[in-house]
Amino acid sequence: MPLMEINQLNTSYFTSDGTVNAVEGVSLSLEKGHALGIAGESGCGKTTVALSSMKLLPSNAKITSGNILFNGEDLVKKTENEMNRIRWKKIALVFQGAMNALNPVFKVGDQIVEAIQTHDRKITRADAVKKTRELLELVGVDPARAEDFPHEFSGGMKQRAVIAMALSCDPDVLIADEPTTALDVITQGRILTLVRELQAKLGLSLIVITHDLSLTAEICSEIAIMYAGKVVEFGKTTDIYNEPMHPYTNALLSAFPSILGPIREMKTLPGFPPDLRNPPQGCRLMPRCPYAEARCEKEPQLGEITPSHFAACYNWEKVKQTWKKLS
Amino acid sequence: MLQLGKGETNVEETLVVQDLEKTFRVNRGFSPFSRKAFWVRAVDHVSFKIGSNEILGLAGESGCGKTTTGRTVLKLFEPTGGKIFFEGHDITDLGPNDMKKYRPHMQMVFQDPYRSLNPRKNVMSLLSLPIETHGLAKNRSEKLEMIMHALDEVRLHPPERYVYKYPHELSGGERQRIALARVLVLRPKLIVADEPVSMLDALVRIGVLDLLLDLKKKTGFACLFVTHDLALARYTCDRIAIMYLGKIVEIGSKDAVISQPAHPYTKALISAVPVPNPSARKVQLEVKGDVPSPLNVPSGCPFHTRCPYADDRCRGEEQQLIKTDEDHYVACYKYNLI
């Protein structure tokens, strides 16, 4: 049984301009010890999926249907009090822009101690401090630096501190929302190595939310590609990269230059993602898709095409062939 | 003086930069009485050339001085040392008035299209400004024609739909196209593009990049492309220079720099770039520590504090750029030993 399973999740934002269905019918599963990547452009709903699964949505957003099973329990039905016992202890989140997630007027160590004490009322301060030092050591920061303020930390160290904070209650699942945006390439490389090491050492299960497909290639075992609130393709990392079956995956992959191999011509899709207040009928990619045809007016469902490789496209075979020819 | 070759093509250089230096004064401390002045050398003896119709990528981590270099060659910052030649003219010491005649020929595209466009002006007035400033149009109808043509060039079709829009009505990609159009109406000979696509989504990014490359082919200009993304530099640029703490540590054709990196820093950078292919294996070179503070640049080779190959010579002696190959220079005396 998967550790975490999202079934037919619908999440909407209720704004003064109308209802935005940011996530529609998303189903995903995360096995224990695996790393699931959720990738897509801004506004595709990937962060909303993460916030939904921790029930941390802003006040104007609501999960309208679907369920999120964690260890067999449905999180959607949980009350706020029950969620408080799950957040951080079972599922922890490394926020986007972690660099700014630290409070500038408190020492880094104290902020981690606070996180530990909030979730474990019985722990003594001395034990919490000891644990903080262990956590900092675990993420590769000198424990003596716990006495420093955030501005004395470099970007990479702040990111490490925020990861340490997320690990402070030994969670089973770590959700990382754009964990390396705004970091320099060498620092990013090191954070990725750290995440891989932690995953192996602690047996963590990861959900990585990113717009960068080269990042998911480095750390994820499965990838879900999202477009306009829906998952359009889901499968093992190697399958997604070697045999993409959805035109949008294809386009995203062609949009990332590689530092290795021949320089491929990069292609993009015409137009822009649809306005989710008023999404197009049928397949949401249809207005931009080079493979679009009449039957796409009826929306294709995410179907299992080969074992554990799902795509929501009628023309998956053509897409696969085109990619093969290119690479 | 270093002679930086630029490959076999013998076109006249649009921009020649020799030993460029830019230092900033920073004050430390809150009290006006105990303030101490420090000097940050953001650009330290940087030399390069850009041929007409060539794109030179300037890559490095944040704080390495790549943006300062870009701004200084346009004289948006006054250089504190060295020489800048634009099409053979020495523009280093020209004042703002004398610079005016060069301004339309050397332009800049900024990183963030959400901040570089005035939110209170519509596309029409945004594009009118450069035309009026440099007196390029004889009358109103000619100006209008130039604006429409510029919008057409950056593929905002149909132009009529865009002229009266305000920046907030446009997407990131559309805004960056407006920023490009604003520069291109002047038909510049040199464009400094400072991370022009780093704020854009993947698919939008490729559209804007391809547009830039297409327009370069069509109208012809030299470009200094400032970026932190080496994979992107490889796709876009003809030549690449790698900067570290204000110095160019390696410069050459993109194939040489990316496929046969000679400087340990370049190697470390390349090995840290994530590859969009899970089965790809690459050389790994890990470096220790963080970039030292530019207030306190290490002696000798600035990279020696992090370099796994550093020895006494690296700590004591500043490294000069050495020619390793046709159009490939590296500032590391050990390049062929490692």
pLDDT, residue B29, reads 67
* DSSP-derived 3-state class of residue A67: strand
Summarised one tens digit per residue, pLDDT across range A43-82 is 899 999 999 999 999 999 999 999 999 999 999 999 999 9
Query: Which residues lie below 8 Å from residue A285, measured CB to CB, with a gap of 6+?
Result: A227, A228, A232, A247, A248, A269, A292
Q: Residues for chain A: how many in total? A: 327
Identify the residue among B64, B170, B201, B212 best suited for mutation to test binding to A, counting A beta carbons within 10 A and taking the highest.
Answer: B201
CA B117 from centroid of its chain's CA atoms: 20
State the average pLDDT over residues B194-199: 90
pTM (2 decimals)? 0.88
Which residue out of A260, A265, A285 would a mutagenesis test of the B interface target, given it has the greatest number of B Cβ atoms within 10 Å?
A: A260
User: One-letter amino acid identity for A150?
Assistant: P
Contact A190 B272 (CB under 8 A): yes
Closest-CA residue of chain B to A214: B276
User: A238–B278: do the CB atoms touch at under 8 Å?
Assistant: yes
Left, alpha or beta for A16 (phi > 0: left; psi -120 to 50: alpha)? alpha
In chain B, where the domains are located = 259-338
On average, the pLDDT of chain B sits at 89
Record: contact B290-A156, CB cut-off 8 A: yes
Sheet holding A303-306, edge to edge: A91-94, A173-177, A205-210, A35-39, A222-227, A230-236, A309-311, A303-306
Minimal C-alpha gap between B275 and chain A (Å): 5
Convert the pLDDT of each residue in B99-144 to its tens digit. 999 999 999 999 888 889 999 999 999 999 999 999 999 999 999 9
With bands split at pLDDT 50, 70 and 90, how would you rate the model's confidence at B275? confident
Q: What tokens appear for A281 in the block?
A: 């009928």
Tokens of A58: 């802003």
Residue A134 CB neighbour total at 10 angstroms: 12
End-to-end CA distance of chain B: 27
Q: Is there a contact between A237 and B206 if contact means CB atoms under 8 Å apart?
A: no
A223: CB partners within 8 A, 6+ apart: A36, A37, A38, A39, A216, A233, A234, A235, A236, A237, A240
CB of A211 within 8 Å of any CB in chain B? yes
pLDDT bucket at B7, cuts 50 / 70 / 90: very low
Cβ contacts below 8 Å, chain A against chain B, sum to 113
Tens-place pLDDT, residues B23-69: 998 877 666 676 777 888 999 999 999 999 999 999 998 889 999 99
CA distances from B244 to A207, B64, B302, B307, B320 (A): 34, 5, 8, 12, 14
Q: What is the pLDDT of residue B57?
A: 96
Higher pLDDT, B262 or B280: B262
Tokens 């606070």, located at residue: A114
Decide if A190 touches B, using CB distance below 8 A: yes
In chain A, the DSSP E strands lie at 4-15, 18-30, 35-39, 61-70, 73-74, 91-94, 173-177, 205-210, 222-227, 230-236, 303-306, 309-311
Please determine, for residue A220, whether its predicted confidence score (pLDDT) is greater than 90: yes
| 47-86 of B, contacting A, C-beta below 8 A | 61-62
Cβ-count burial B172-202 (b if 16+ within 10 Å, e if not): bbbbbbbbbbbbbbbebbbbbbbbbbebbbb
Q: pLDDT band at residue B3, thresholds of 50, 70 and 90?
A: very low
User: Looking at the partner chain, which of A215, A237, A263 has a beta carbon nearest the beta carbon of B274?
Assistant: A215
d(CA B105, CA A50): 48
